[in-house]
Amino acid sequence: MAVLLSVTPAGAHGFGQRYDLPLPLSLYLSGAAAAVVFSFVIVGLFVRSAPPTHAHSRVDLFDYRPGRALAAFGVPLKLSALVLFAAMLLAGFLGDQNPYRNLAPTLVWIIAWVGLAYVSALVGDIWPLINPWRTVFDAAETVYRHICGRNLALDKTYPHALGIWPAVLLLLAFSWTELVYPTPAVPSHIASFALGYSVLTWAGMFLFGGETWLRHGELFTVIFGTFARLAPTEIRTARPKPQFLLRRFGTGLTGREQVSPSMMAFVLLLLSSVLYDGLIATPEWSVAESAIIARLSDVVELGSVALRSIGLVGFWLLFLSAYWMVSIVMSAVTERHFSSRQIAQTFALTLIPIALGYHLAHYLVYFLVQGQYIIPLLSDPFGYGWNLFGTASYRPDIAIVGARFAWYTAVAAVLLGHIAAVYLAHVQAMQIFAARKLALASQIPLTALMVVYTCISLSILAEPIVERSRPSAQPTAVAENMVAIPADAVLPDQDSGRLQVIGPGKFARAKLIYRLLGSAFHDGTKMTAADLLYPYIFAYRWGTRGDGRETHYDQSIDTATAPIRRELAGLRVVGSETASKSIRVGDVDFLREVFTIEVYTTSAPTSPEREAVPAPPWSTLPWHLLVLMEEAVSGNWAAFSQTEATRRGVEWLDLVRSQALNARFAALTESFERDGFRPEALRPLVGVDEARRRWAALSAFYKANGHFLVTNGPYQLKSWSQDSAVLSAFRDLSYPLGVGSYDSYAIPRRGFITAVDSTDDGVRLSGDVEMIDKFQRRYRLKRVPLSSIPPDVLKRMPPECRFVVVDDQKRVVLAGAAPLGESSSFQFDFKNRLPVGRYTMFAAIALNGNVMNADIRQIPIVVSSN
């Protein structure tokens, strides 16, 4: 206790918000282990007799008016659960496949799996009441009995030796789906699994009878019933009179009964699967997994899914083996009054508090944060933009709990679970051993096992939070692939978007340096550092769910900017210079400003093109136009995306055709010009006078052109009608390229693979590309073989073949781009790049980097051993 109460600083990092553990992890482990041992000593000294086994059955809450009032909710709960189950199936098959816009993932993985486990353990087992499979089968059996005069079920004799092994196998499959299956949150996959499970459950109930199969083979009846043994209530649905019994916590976990071997295996699988969930998320597992796959690559093709499947079963068997070995020791120290098998089966249920503690530690924060999505999803279960109950606009509060709460809750849950298990195991020992000395002796090995469990579980839980110890204040101690981020670099705040100084001691995995040639916008304003940084602010402000305000989040922006927010580690505008790119025409100097920007990311270094994807430091829109659009969306005049506009019942934001919006924008720009308005996040970068010039320029642009579509592109919208638009070239010498340089964007050309020739363990691809015949303002595209194009023309439009190779398991094993070879074809040699086997290559010819509407060829490949 002294260790736990003392406070000293320790280096650590958190998730969401930063949180430093007040103690090093080693002290937490030793303190928690000491607490478990101390609880054993206290229980051994003061608990000298077991409480009466059946004292809990004396109080039936249904004998009292409040209890009878609760019974009235039985039928509505049953029907509500059935409706939700049907809605989940329909949403999975027919709804939006985005997990955050579909009812199925939240209902199954959060509300049902996590939430009902807590209700069962802390309140009571309501699953028999709301079980949709039981509801459907009972209804069908009632109708069948009324029509045919006999039961629907065949009532075959259930093999006693089978125990609950069907539920064990189903729990293993369920855990595999949750922890190993690559796409467990895809709604259609969830619905398919649920439909298959429904068929299996109803088949079992038809063969052996409803109650028999529910007790032995219906997974969730067994899971929630097992957790409910800890609860202070017990619900008995036996006819003719149901009972709602009040009892002490944990009474259902003790008694003289010996559970079946299958139930013992089930309890250990519950323990191991939850802990395995934490294990596979640790850096140590990732390193070990990569090393094993690499080591075995020459012997067997072992992927991540296969390795994690083996690990799931192996972890379960490891827990079983450890518990069995402890049972052998317990049998030995108690003079073999009971065999090791009898000991194992007798004390298995006392491990349930530990399983619940692990469950709370791993999933409680997940439940509190992600579980909030059920509120909007109940109004819009299919993601169609409905608002059935008026809750579709609810935005979950992701800051409801923080890293501090997560860590202390996890520690408390694990510790209290083990202490409760120590107490219940001692009570169980007092009931089965006549001599108190033998009861105490039996608990020493079991307590030692619980101490090991405590240390393992807390170590795994701490992985996302606690850093490994390293030499202090020495950058060289950081891994070789880490890059120090300058202390004056900035990063947008998750909630407000304001640029926050990162400070010293931060590192990234990749550093990109951009030299960006600034250019004028269509309204005549000049690009500044504020225009480069504000798109990042915009991404964080509108792509992050904040404090629940409806008008400051858009799912489409969230999706589009997720790579930026996931991988961005820091930004730094180094400065600008005008000497190198400025030109002089006659007596006039045309200044071209070059900005140097450093972007730091958390993505592993691969190639400059790949690393640049999540963090381009520019936007086609000036900051003042983005601010104007934000004001419109914040005021609920319009929405950024069509989906959000439909959901909120407002216009889809249009800077050109909406006369009503343009009138509002015009008034707003005049107001902003008078006030010199600029957003709070840009005040360190933009002064009042600069802001007034921006708004004045935008207002003048609108008066001259009749719209607000200001960009820095080479074409400017001149006029438009219902079915056409006229673009005029925007000429400005601040632009980096000369006249005609943008034709490749206005008229993107494509390539086509025309021939595939197999070579020794490789292929040769030939193709055509589109060429442009121009005459004044007219042009015509024609396909020309690559072999007929002169070399000097090819240099101006370098074609390349982009390709991806997948194996027979649909996994990408090779990808890249190949330049055009000397024979005007693309050569690929896979012999030294791929193992022996059959593959499929997907290839397309890209011209000037254009892959829009690409012509992709699928090519079979065989790599032989010769």
Query: In 10 A of CB 225, how many CB atoms?
Result: 18
Whole-number pLDDT of residue 16 = 33
Q: What is the pLDDT of residue 55?
A: 46
> Tens digits of per-residue pLDDT, 36-89?
777 777 776 666 666 655 544 567 777 777 767 777 777 888 999 999 999 999
Measured CA to CA, the distance from residue 139 to residue 228 in angstroms comes to 26
* Residue 6: inside a domain: yes
- Rounded Cα distance, 648 and 551, in Å: 9
Which tens digit of pLDDT belongs to each residue from 524-573? 898 888 998 999 989 888 888 765 555 578 888 888 888 888 888 889 88
Distance CA 119, CA 228 (A): 8
The answer to whether position 157 is within a domain reads yes
Q: How many CA atoms lie within 13 A of 605 on its CB side?
A: 11
Task: Single out the residue in 208, 230, 253 at which a domain terminates.
Answer: 253
Q: C-alpha distances in angstroms, 805 versus 298, 529, 596, 763, 841?
A: 19, 41, 37, 12, 4
- 436, 544: one domain: no
- 63 within domain boundaries: yes
- Dist. CA 361–CA 367, nearest whole Å: 11
Question: Same domain for 552 and 459?
Answer: no
Number of Cβ within 10 Å of residue 754's Cβ equals 15
| Residue 478 included in any domain | no
- My answer on whether 635 and 506 are in the same domain is yes
811 lies in the same domain as 853: yes
Specify the higher pLDDT residue, 627 or 606: 627
- For residue 776, pLDDT over 60 is answered with no
Lowest mean pLDDT among 48-52, 483-487, 587-591, 847-851: 587-591
**Cα angle 739, 740, 746; round to 5:** 135
E-only strand ranges, 498-609:
499-501, 507-508, 510-517, 568-577, 583-585, 588-590, 594-601
270 and 247 co-located in one domain: no
Q: How far apart are CA 644 and CA 640, in angstroms?
A: 7
In a domain, 474, yes or no: no
Count the domains in the chain: 4
Domain span holding position 147:
59-253
Is 364 among the domain residues? yes
**238, 253, 268 — which closes off a domain?**
253
Residue 51 lies in a domain: no
**Residue 470: per-residue pLDDT:** 32
Q: Taking residues 231-245, what's their average pLDDT?
A: 73
Distance (Å, rounded) from C-alpha 664 to C-alpha 645?
18
- Residue 801, domain CATH: 2.60.40
**176 and 304 both lie in a single domain:** no
- Round to whole Å and give the CA distance between 708 and 149: 76
Q: Cα(11)–Cα(471) distance, rounded to whole angstroms?
A: 11
- β-strands 715-720, 725-729 pairing: antiparallel
User: Who's near 255: CB < 8 A, 6+ residues apart?
Assistant: 53, 428, 431
Q: Is 595 helix (H, G, I), strand (E, B) or coil?
A: strand
Residues 507 and 592 in one domain: yes
Cβ 835 vs Cβ 863: under 8 Å: yes
Domain boundary among the residues 232, 253, 274 is at: 253
Q: Are 782 and 773 in contact (CB under 8 A)?
A: yes
Q: Strands 651-652, 638-639: parallel, antiparallel or unpaired by DSSP?
A: parallel
Lowest mean pLDDT segment, chosen from 108-117, 468-477, 688-697: 468-477
> Residues 98, 163: one domain?
yes
Cβ 558 vs Cβ 483: under 8 Å: no
Cα atoms found within 13 Å of the Cα of residue 643, Cβ hemisphere only: 15
Q: What is the pLDDT of residues 353-392, one digit of tens each?
A: 988 988 888 888 888 888 888 999 999 999 888 999 998 8
3-state secondary structure 290-304: HHHHHHHCCCCCCCH
At 665 the pLDDT is 94
Q: Round to whole Å and give the CA distance between 707 and 628.
A: 13
Mean pLDDT estimate for the chain: 82
Read off the pLDDT of each residue in 450-478 and give the average, rounded to a whole number.
52
Instruction: Please indicate, yes or no, whether residues 168 and 69 belong to a single structural domain of this protein.
Output: yes
The pLDDT of residue 806 is 93
Same domain, 525 and 638: yes
Query: Does residue 266 share a domain with residue 245?
Result: no
pLDDT at 471 over 60: no
SS3 276: helix
Q: Is residue 357 part of a domain?
A: yes
Residues in the chain: 866
DSSP H or E stretch at residue 755: strand 751-759
Q: Are residues 716 and 766 in the same domain?
A: no
